[in-house]
Amino acid sequence: MNDQNKAQFQLITCIIQRGKGDSIGKAAIAAGAGGATVFFARGMGLRERLGLLGLAIVPEKEVVMIVCTENETPRIFDAVVAAGKLDTPGMGIAYVMPIYHVAGIFSQDQMSHRAATDTADSKINC
């Protein structure tokens, strides 16, 4: 992948039990995220299907979405996994996807500054 197509930003998505979204969003912000979007969702599948712990899986979920720079991602991801206990089966899932273009979140000056800071940080961490 050439530098033009390299993602500067990433999207952390958490799908968790209803009522857990606020604590995960707050953990993300405490870890350095600029904000988080929390919304309700409904899972699809057989209601009768049992989870790993023998409990029925509730179809009502919350989704937390966090846009961050590539260098911020590991710190924020670790914080939301810990806050949501997502390393425990049945608590939810979290994943990261690249974002190639973004508008409306950061001004061009902020994007340039964040990218420059991330580049400087990555040189320090090497």
41 forms bridges with which residues in the sheet?
61
Per domain, the residue ranges of the chain are: 3-125
Whether pLDDT at 7 is above 60: yes
The predicted pLDDT at position 43 comes to 79
The predicted pLDDT at position 105 comes to 73
Residues 41-62: tens digit of each pLDDT? 987 765 445 555 556 666 789 9
Q: What is the DSSP string of 96-125?
A: EEEES---SSS-HHHHHHHHHHHHHHHHHH
The predicted pLDDT at position 73 comes to 96
Whether 57 and 95 have beta carbons less than 8 Å apart is answered as: no
Whether pLDDT at 117 is above 80: no
Residues 67-114: tens digit of each pLDDT? 999 999 999 999 999 999 999 988 999 999 999 888 887 655 655 555
Q: Which tokens go with 114?
A: 């964040």
C-alpha–C-alpha distance, residues 76 and 80, integer Å:
6
Q: Is 31 helix (H, G, I), strand (E, B) or coil?
A: coil
The predicted pLDDT at position 5 comes to 58
Q: Is 36 helix (H, G, I), strand (E, B) or coil?
A: coil
Whether pLDDT at 37 is above 50: yes
Give the mean pLDDT of 30-35: 95
Whether 96 and 12 have beta carbons less than 8 Å apart is answered as: yes
The predicted pLDDT at position 114 comes to 56
| Domain 3-125 in this protein, CATH class | alpha beta
